[in-house]
Amino acid sequence: MSSHECIKSRIKDGETYAGLILGKNGQPDYHLVLMPGDVEDVTWSTARSWAVADGGDLPNRRELSLLHANLKELFARVWYWSSEQSEARSQLVWGQNFSSGIQTMYGRQFHGRARAVRRVPCD
């Protein structure tokens, strides 16, 4: 079974295949799947808890870039939380603007929007 056929069989109802994330620094490649639904007007902590409770996680910055490139039409033209905190200032968290395409940081207490993703290992 090819990698493409394998991932198709692992996508659940309502999910959308986003693409392949190439591993960095010896990490393995994996497939990214966008889970259905979103939350809006939530802090980063609330967004993270929601994504985990739904069986996924918030996307990291690389994943948000892929989602913007491949599935932009499935997002409102607003700002979405990532899972990545600033290395220099832990109270700040990265996010992606799906209108302009830029990534920037906001404080954890900012109210933004979130989508959850699943990471499926390549076989």
pLDDT (tens digit per residue) in 23-52: 888 888 999 999 999 999 999 999 999 999
Contacts of 99 (CB under 8 A, 6+ apart): 77, 78
CATH (residue range 34-118): 3.10.100.10
Find how far residue 56's CA is from the centre of its chain: 9
pTM of the model: 0.91
Closest CA to 8 of 91, 123, 105, 87: 123
Helix boundaries (H) for 14-120: 44-53, 61-71
Distance CA 90, CA 20 (A): 29
Is residue 75 scored above 50 in pLDDT?
A: yes
| Domain positions in the chain | 34-118
**3-class SS at 66?**
helix
Contacts of 49 (CB under 8 A, 6+ apart): none
Is residue 6 scored above 80 in pLDDT?
A: no
Which H or E run contains 6?
Answer: helix 3-10
Phi and psi angles of residue 97, each rounded to the nearest 5 degrees, phi first: -90, 120
What pLDDT shows up at residue 1? Answer: 46
- Rounded mean pLDDT of 82-109? 95
- Residue 4 or residue 113, greater confidence: 113
What pLDDT shows up at residue 27? Answer: 85
The upper half-sphere exposure of residue 68, i.e. CA atoms within 13 Å in the direction of its Cβ, equals: 22
- Rounded mean pLDDT of 2-29? 85
Determine which of 3-12, 80-89, 104-113 has the lowest per-residue pLDDT on average: 3-12
